[in-house]
Amino acid sequence: DGGITQSPKYLFRKEGQNVTLSCEQNLNHDAMYWYRQDPGQGLRLIYYSQIVNDFQKGDIAEGYSVSREKKESFPLTVTSAQKNPTAFYLCASSLVGADTQYFGPGTRLTVL
Amino acid sequence: ILNVEQSPQSLHVQEGDSTNFTCSFPSSNFYALHWYRWETAKSPEALFVMTLNGDEKKKGRISATLNTKEGYSYLYIKGSQPEDSATYLCAFSNSGYALNFGKGTSLLVTP
């Protein structure tokens, strides 16, 4: 059953702690993306990766880091440098660049 | 950041009504325009990808048109049903690498 998984669904962290959000896909897609959604906002691009071992900053990359060591996995680390990390985070993948994107179920991060 | 505008922000219609939404995007350096449907508690789901000026796509009661020269796309829903209730997102690409999303139009269809 192909798709994208994100874990966990809900995540709570104390202020000042780094936290890593998981994103895995078994669709054999080359491109993967991380978005953030805040109330009243559209999806904003944090990072994207077109190929293994390569990634680019999106519009709001400050305070976040990523890695792409495997085609299937694109974890996102929310660092303590991110000023307002509480948000809903969505991961997506596509065959290539601006092709149809397939989304995971999302992770809601709350920083206390 | 590329500005993608969607209107209206929200819409409430009765079952059986037809409705339409607008997506406006920069008309220069067009690569692709996407429409997604995002139902509550689910993941966004792709509806259409359009790449050519004048493109028209249809899936059941939902259709979309594209005008790249003036920078807009319309999404139409004919005979709305309660299951059409969702947020409809459009996304624009000028690079072939990433999408810029609008804030979405939230549709509520009541019986």
As a whole number of Å, the CA-based R_g of chain B is 13
CA max distance for chain A: 38
- B13 pLDDT higher than 90: yes
Mean pLDDT, residues B43-66: 95
Instruction: Residue A66: list chain B partners with CB under 8 A.
Output: none
* Residue found by looking up tokens 């990808």 in the block: B49
Q: Which residue(s) pair with A21 in the sheet?
A: A76
Q: Which of B46, B98, B104 sits opposite A48 (nearest CB)?
A: B98
Bond prior to B44 in cis (omega within 30° of 0): no
Determine contact, residues A91/A44, Cβ cutoff 8 Å: no
Cβ pairs bridging A and B (under 8 Å):
64
The two structure tokens encoding residue A35: 């978005």
Q: How far apart are CA B9 and CA B5, in angstroms?
A: 10
Q: Which of A56, A98, A104 sits opposite B43 (nearest CB)?
A: A104
pLDDT at B97: 79
* Residue found by looking up tokens 């890593």 in the block: A20
The two structure tokens encoding residue B69: 């020269």
pLDDT at A1: 59
Q: How far apart are CA A44 and CA A34, in angstroms?
A: 8
Run means of pLDDT, 10 residues per run, chain A, 112 residues: 87 92 95 93 93 94 97 96 93 86 95 89
Give, in degrees to the nearest 5, the angle at Cα A78 between A77 and A80.
130
Bond prior to B111 in cis (omega within 30° of 0): no
Average pLDDT over all residues of chain B? 94
Question: What are φ and ψ of residue B108, in 5° steps?
Answer: -120, 125
Q: Which of B88, B100, B84, B8 is nearest to B45 (CA)?
A: B88
Q: How far apart are CA B31 and CA B22, in angstroms?
A: 18
pLDDT in tens, B60-94: 999 999 999 999 999 999 999 999 999 999 999 98
Interchain CB distance below 8 Å, B97 and A33 = no
Q: What is the dihedral of CA B47, B53, B55, B61, to 10 degrees?
A: 60
Instruction: Residue B98: list chain A partners with CB under 8 A.
Output: 33, 45, 48, 56, 58, 97-98
pLDDT at B92: 92
